[in-house]
Amino acid sequence: MKNLIKYIGSLFFLLLFATQLSAQSSNVSLSIGCPAAVISGTSININAAYGYSNITGNITVVVNYDATKVTFLNSTGFGLAAPVLGGSGASSKVTYTFAATSGLNQTGAIQLHFTAICPQTCFGVTNIANFSGTISAPGATTIATTPCGTNLNVINDWGGSMYVSAYNCKLNQVTFNVNITRSSCYRIINPTLTLSSSVGTVIGSSGGTLAGNTVTLASPLFNNKNVTVTVQLPCNPVTGTPTFTAGPVTCTAILNGDNCGNYFPNIKIYSTTYNVVPQNSQASLSCTASSGNSYVAVVTNFGKSAINANLTTNLPNLNYTGFTHSTNQSTPISGSYKTFDCAMIASSSIPFTSTPIINTVVIGSIKKMDYTISNLQPGQSFFMTFTYSGATPSCLPAAISPYNFSTSGNYTGIPDPADCNCTYNLRNFSTASCSFADPSGLPNMICTGSTYNNSLCHRAGETLHFCLKFRNNGSGPLTNGILNLGLPTYLNLIPSTVTYDGLTTGISSTLSGVITLPSSIATGPDHTVCFDATLNSTAGNGLHSLNPKISGDNLSLRNICLYQVLICQDAKAEISKKVKGSEDIIFSTSGSALPGSIATYQITINNSGNTPISSIQILDRLPEIGDKTIRNCTPRGSQFSVMPNGIFSPSSLASAANYSNSAPGINNIPANWSAALSAFSCDVSGIFSPGPKNTMLVNIPGPILPFTSYAFEMQVVIPATAKPGDQICNSVALKTMYQDETGAEYPLEIIESDKVCLIVAPPPCKPCPTMIKSETMTLNPGTVVNPGTPYVTKTGYVTITTLKPVQEIQINISDLQYHFNKKECKDCKTPALSRGGIFPLNTTQTVGTLIWDDFTGSSIPSATPVDNLPQELIWNLGVMLAPGTYTIPFQLTLPNSIIPDCCELILDKFALKVSVKDADCNVCENFVAPSTDNCCTGSFWDRQQMTWSLIHDSPHTLATKQTEVSKRKSDLKEIYDHNKEVISGNSLDNLIPSYGVLNIKCDETYRIMEGQNRTFNALFKCNPNMTNCESQSLVTITTQSGNYINVINQPMPYNQIFNLPGVYKIKYIGKCGGVICNTCEFMLIVEKNCCVGITKNGPTTVTADHIFQPNNMTSITSSPLLHLTAKSMATVNLNYSCSQNCSATYSWRRLKNGVQIDSGTSPNGTINFAPPTSGEDLIIISVNCGTQNCNRTERFYLGCEFCLIIFDPTQPRIPRK
């Protein structure tokens, strides 16, 4: 009865809370944030942070601005709807309208981008641009913000640089380049550059008019400008006058001019230094090679002196038809060459002539050429061209594509007495290597266009439509092409929307975006792959690049049709608060505590948006006794105080977090918090004395990344004056900034959590310390499945040490929370059990001399109805229990998945209330909870695989035919995870890897052929924080019928040969410390290979009214295909025999213009086909053995008797009789 009264009292308080929370008003808020100052001519980012509660309908946000001072660009981060521009001049505005989300404390932000108009006015002048806004919604008062002003400053921000663009050692001249970059708004009238050089004399300039050391530029100067300056250094080698040969030369240019009638010197000073040293001759060597029939080696002199060069060209074994030499300089080049034949025997040296040399007899057997050139002038090039054809080369063996050419050598400068500061040392060329591949017969896939609906940014939940257009412009078809869309994790493909040239036939796709293209894509026309994908909530904001890739049997993997997706900024933050009092086991929104005890608050900040949040401030109201709501109250002090040495644990950000709750007489709102807090009546300015202020400020700089949470705890002391039944409620508010892709911060609206309440509990009974010495509870790891019941059971025990005689012990379930890990299952199919039940081990279980009171009338869990699970156990007289230590075993029942081992049960929380009544009827109640950390805690499968050797399997056992797998894709999974193992007949088309690996998924079904061996390879890992937790990874193999194999608990890796067909159940078992922590089951179907030894019995015959080729052909797959017409019916007779007692069946398809229009199956080889109503249909008949498609087909064309058919004129036609 006592428990019932307490329950009714708690229910009354809950109803009272619900009544107080039911009436929530509709409200909106808006704040406009703008920078204090920007430079005129640059961009301005304005942030409009909004908030609302309990709004139904549309929200309208209006931002006002002065179009004479700023220009609106966009607000791409918004994405909900396109803004509407209105007004004009100083009364311009941008309006946003969007649907409200239901609930309290909804927040968001719009980032608007403007450009400050450049007035091109005087230096130092400042304009002011003002921004303001309003927010309105149905049922809420329209809120208008105060103007936010930004100074638009005109400053001297002329920039640029100075660098050396050239040094001429011949003339000893240095050319400097002055790169002037424009100011945002600062205009210069009558601009000049004042030049100076530490050595030499300024002799020339471009980009202005040079007079002495001053360059006059065009006026006014408002755009970028480039000016060159040439400095002559001392040089006179003919007369012997000293020449400046080495050392630094510093050149300076000072930009001057007028601004608004005032002269401003030194607007910008440019300076750079060049370290002069004697300059050597300079030349380069390059080459080109093409499939067109030529290799060209090119020597280019880019120094200041003429050069001589020695060169060697190595040639691959091709059929060379000749070579030519040429130059682009007007003066002749002298030189000579030697060729080396197939045996690398050199010819005599042959001088170059003034005309190209062509000698097909000598050149045809060339492997190498050495040649020299003389007097190549500065700025000129020499070309050596070798031509070749596709004929058989005279030097064998013939080179294999790709064909590699190379040229190497050295050069020296030719001295000139008139040179000022040049040297002529021998220098080596960098080797020039070129190659080309023979593209004959190979595909080349190029992108010809890609589109998606990218007019605006996108938000979670949207469906995006993509189209990729590509073409094969190679010289051969692409075979067995694969298009990998490269979808990121935030895009979910909708497979049913995948089309190829507008059709869904002829291709297949996976959820990961791997599309199998038609088996052959010819050269020529464009092809288009289109698909839809939904955007999930894991997408970060900003511009994301996607990289589709294409490959095939004759094409290596390469990028194709790259495209980008813009994700909207979606800044959101949430805050929650929970409490755990001295009488509570877990955190929740309501708790209980004793007077003078410690209560722990847990505050969680959740970044539910896609941008980081930072600069986090938490305003936590410390409550006052009697608070029943967080609203409609006045400022006052608090009897609460944060424990000076209590828990305050902001986890990873502990070093940066701080809080303040110090002196009395301080306003209870931080000075920098928004006036929006006035909506929360308790959180207004006020001075409280005596006692501390009733708010506490926590600063956490962050950032908190998108889609992550951050929690910390703090402790408070319950006032000793509190009385049982007193209610104490409070809340917490959050102020934070969100970050855009550049890291810049913008504010979000302030939000407040739901209230959290504590009820002061009565003190514990006084006899407890003299009645009970200790109470503990242990819960064993692992569960036991009860076949045929909706239960699994866990066992545990409670240990009690009593100090007095006891007449009754009662154990109640106080807290029980669990969830299911679905382990790849779509539905755990758990029974409707909400809490589970508690049982003794058997009906005769006693606690010493106390006897179990079976008040449920049940003996064991399996006999208890689901709707009558016991929540308590009672042991009573019997005989009075003597003082001592007693261990009480118990069973805890929990829901069991109907599908065996489909889902893993995870027990989150479990606690018992233990009540002990002594001989004097004093009752003591205590709560006990087990340590949930055991060997299984945190255990996991590190690897779940099935592997096999591809080399040692016979070809017909390697893979299931792909089309057959596609037919069964609703209940089977392809055993291979790549697309290269497809059988054609009895031979393997492609055998690329030598070792196959399949990552197993629990509760799936896989199929192999008989005779194959499989290695079962899984690794289970245990709790890393506990010792003596030995890990075991075991496999069990059983059959559903026949008992071909009976492997029990073998360590992995374990190899098994499956010689006999059947259905096998494979179970991976993970153990820790000898306890089963996890299992994973899957089915393996071993099929007979019926297609081995398939034979055809006699020719295939076709009976019809008219046949346009001879009848009784050996196979109607002969080329050309059979054409026939029929008035009413065409009958095909074919007969195949299968091996291993498998039956032959036949499936057929009917295609018109390449599109399937009908299909069917036949248990025998006699199949009738009605003629089409128009044109011709292609009939394809496939032969099956058992459930396997054996890749044998028969095909012919069928036309109608009474319609006009246009036949291929190359096909023979027999006139009708």
Residue 408 and residue 287 in contact, taking contact as beta carbons nearer than 8 Å: no
Q: Residue 155 above 90 pLDDT?
A: no
The CATH code that applies to domain 280-436 is 2.60.40
Taking CB atoms within 8 Å and a gap of at least 24, the contacts of 984-988 are: 984/1191, 985/1190, 985/1191, 985/1192, 986/955, 986/956, 986/1091, 986/1092, 987/955, 988/955, 988/958
Sequential DSSP letters for 1021-1035: E--TT-SS--EEEEE
- Residues facing residue 1163 across a β-bridge: none
- For the CA atoms of 256, 257, 259, 265, the dihedral, rounded to the nearest 10 degrees, stands at 40
Taking every pair of Cα atoms in the chain, the longest distance, rounded to a whole number of angstroms, is 133
Per-residue model confidence (pLDDT) at position 174: 96
Q: Residue 1093 above 90 pLDDT?
A: no
Q: Do domains 159-276 and 574-760 have the same CATH topology?
A: yes
Instruction: Indicate the class that CATH gives domain 574-760.
Output: mainly beta
159-276, CATH topology level: Immunoglobulin-like (2.60.40)
- Cis omega (within 30 of 0) on the bond before 644? no
The CATH code that applies to domain 27-153 is 2.60.40.740
Per-residue model confidence (pLDDT) at position 862: 55
484, containing H or E segment: strand 482-484
445-567, CATH topology level: Immunoglobulin-like (2.60.40)
Give the residue extent of every domain in the chain.
27-153, 159-276, 280-436, 445-567, 574-760, 774-922, 940-1087, 1095-1200
Sorting pLDDT into bands at 50, 70 and 90, what band is 665? very low
Q: Which residue has the higher pLDDT, 876 or 1089?
A: 876
pLDDT tens-place string over residues 1162-1199: 888 899 988 888 888 999 999 988 878 888 888 888 88
- Residue whose token pair is 């992995």: 1052
Per-residue model confidence (pLDDT) at position 952: 38
Outline where DSSP puts E strands in 969-1109: 983-984, 987-988, 995-999, 1005-1009, 1012-1021, 1031-1039, 1047-1051, 1054-1058, 1062-1072, 1075-1087, 1095-1096, 1101-1103, 1106-1107
**In percent, how much of the chain has pLDDT > 90?**
23
Sequential DSSP letters for 1155-1170: EEEEEEEESSSEEEEP
Per-residue model confidence (pLDDT) at position 96: 92
The mean pLDDT of 543-551, rounded to a whole number, is 86
Please state, in angstroms and rounded to a whole number, the distance separating the CA atoms of residues 853 and 861.
Answer: 15
Three-state secondary structure call for residue 899: coil
| Cα-based angle 257, 258, 259 (whole degrees, multiple of 5) | 130
Residue 1081 and residue 1069 in contact, taking contact as beta carbons nearer than 8 Å: no
Residue 75 and residue 112 in contact, taking contact as beta carbons nearer than 8 Å: yes
Per-residue model confidence (pLDDT) at position 369: 93
Please state, in angstroms and rounded to a whole number, the distance separating the CA atoms of residues 742 and 760.
Answer: 50
Residue 108: exposed, middle, or buried by beta-carbon count in 10 A (0-12, 13-18, 19+)? buried
Q: What letter represents residue 922's amino acid?
A: N
Per-residue model confidence (pLDDT) at position 408: 96
Residue 274 and residue 197 in contact, taking contact as beta carbons nearer than 8 Å: no
Q: Which residue has the higher pLDDT, 860 or 614?
A: 614
Per-residue model confidence (pLDDT) at position 949: 66
Residue 760's nearest CA partner among 725, 715, 730, 720 is: 725
- For the CA atoms of 353, 355, 358, 363, the dihedral, rounded to the nearest 10 degrees, stands at 40
Please state, in angstroms and rounded to a whole number, the distance separating the CA atoms of residues 138 and 1163.
Answer: 70
Sorting pLDDT into bands at 50, 70 and 90, what band is 868? low
**pTM, to two decimals:** 0.45
Sorting pLDDT into bands at 50, 70 and 90, what band is 60? very high
Domain at 1095-1200: CATH architecture:
Sandwich (2.60)
Per-residue model confidence (pLDDT) at position 886: 92
- Residues facing residue 151 across a β-bridge: 37, 128
Please state, in angstroms and rounded to a whole number, the distance separating the CA atoms of residues 1211 and 1205.
Answer: 13
Three-state secondary structure call for residue 651: helix
| Cα R_g (the chain), whole angstroms | 44
The mean pLDDT of 72-81, rounded to a whole number, is 76
Per-residue model confidence (pLDDT) at position 1048: 72
Per-residue model confidence (pLDDT) at position 789: 65
Strongest mean pLDDT among 163-172, 358-367, 767-776, 1045-1054: 163-172
Residue 435's nearest CA partner among 291, 320, 579 is: 291
pLDDT tens-place string over residues 176-209: 999 999 888 888 889 999 999 999 999 999 999 9
Residue 460 and residue 537 in contact, taking contact as beta carbons nearer than 8 Å: yes
Taking CB atoms within 8 Å and a gap of at least 24, the contacts of 32-35 are: 32/63, 32/131, 32/132, 32/133, 32/145, 32/148, 33/148, 33/746, 33/747, 34/131, 34/148, 34/149, 34/150, 35/150
Q: Residue 529 above 90 pLDDT?
A: yes
Q: Which residue has the higher pLDDT, 393 or 1115?
A: 393
Mean pLDDT of the chain: 77
Per-residue model confidence (pLDDT) at position 955: 32
Per-residue model confidence (pLDDT) at position 427: 93
Token pair recorded at residue 58? 């549309």
Per-residue model confidence (pLDDT) at position 11: 35
Task: Lowest mean pLDDT of 224-238, 274-288, 348-362, name the range.
Answer: 348-362
Q: Residue 777 above 90 pLDDT?
A: no
Residue 216 and residue 208 in contact, taking contact as beta carbons nearer than 8 Å: yes
- Cis omega (within 30 of 0) on the bond before 703? yes
Q: Residue 269 above 80 pLDDT?
A: yes
- How far out from the chain centre does Cα 654 lie? 30
Per-residue model confidence (pLDDT) at position 17: 36
Pairing of strands 334-340, 350-351: antiparallel
pLDDT tens-place string over residues 243-258: 888 999 999 999 999 9
Residue 159 and residue 223 in contact, taking contact as beta carbons nearer than 8 Å: no
State the DSSP code for 827. Answer: -
Residue 722 and residue 598 in contact, taking contact as beta carbons nearer than 8 Å: no
Q: Residue 29 above 70 pLDDT?
A: yes
| Cα-based angle 608, 610, 615 (whole degrees, multiple of 5) | 75
Instruction: Report phi then psi at 966, rounded to 5.
Output: -60, -40
Three-state secondary structure call for residue 559: strand
Per-residue model confidence (pLDDT) at position 687: 33
Q: Residue 1112 above 50 pLDDT?
A: no
Please state, in angstroms and rounded to a whole number, the distance separating the CA atoms of residues 956 and 960.
Answer: 9
Q: Residue 1217 above 50 pLDDT?
A: no
Give the HSE-up count for residue 85: Cα atoms under 13 Å, Cβ half-sphere.
12
Give the HSE-up count for residue 157: Cα atoms under 13 Å, Cβ half-sphere.
12
- For the CA atoms of 1131, 1136, 1141, 1147, the dihedral, rounded to the nearest 10 degrees, stands at -50
pLDDT tens-place string over residues 414-468: 998 888 889 999 999 999 999 887 777 788 888 888 766 555 788 888 888 889 9
Per-residue model confidence (pLDDT) at position 668: 40
Instruction: Indicate the class that CATH gives domain 940-1087.
Output: mainly beta
User: Is the Cα dihedral 876, 879, 883, 885 positive or negative?
Assistant: negative
pLDDT tens-place string over residues 964-1017: 333 333 233 333 332 223 222 222 233 333 457 888 888 888 888 887 888 999
Taking CB atoms within 8 Å and a gap of at least 24, the contacts of 952-956 are: 953/1012, 954/1011, 955/983, 955/986, 955/987, 955/988, 956/983, 956/986, 956/1009, 956/1089, 956/1091, 956/1092
Residue 969's nearest CA partner among 936, 1004, 997, 996 is: 1004
Q: Residue 958 above 50 pLDDT?
A: no
Residue 815 and residue 909 in contact, taking contact as beta carbons nearer than 8 Å: yes
- Residues facing residue 108 across a β-bridge: 50
Q: Residue 675 above 80 pLDDT?
A: no
pLDDT tens-place string over residues 217-243: 998 888 899 999 999 999 876 665 678
Per-residue model confidence (pLDDT) at position 1030: 84
Per-residue model confidence (pLDDT) at position 433: 92
Per-residue model confidence (pLDDT) at position 827: 61
